[in-house]
Amino acid sequence: MDSAYHLAQINIGRLLAPMEDPRIKDFTQALPAINLLAESSDGFIWRLKDETDNATSIQAFSDPLVIVNMSVWESLEALQNYAFQSGHAQYLRRRREWFEPMQTAHLALWWIPKGHKPTLEEAKERLRHLDTHGDSEFAFTFRKTFSAPTQP
Interacting residues of 97 by C-beta distance below 8 A, sequence separation 6+:
16, 23, 26, 27
Per-residue pLDDT tens over the stretch 93-127 = 999 999 999 999 999 999 999 999 999 999 999 99
The domains of the chain, with CATH numbers, are: 5-133 (3.30.70.100)
Are the C-beta atoms of 126 and 7 separated by less than 8 Å?
no
Q: What is the pTM of this model?
A: 0.94
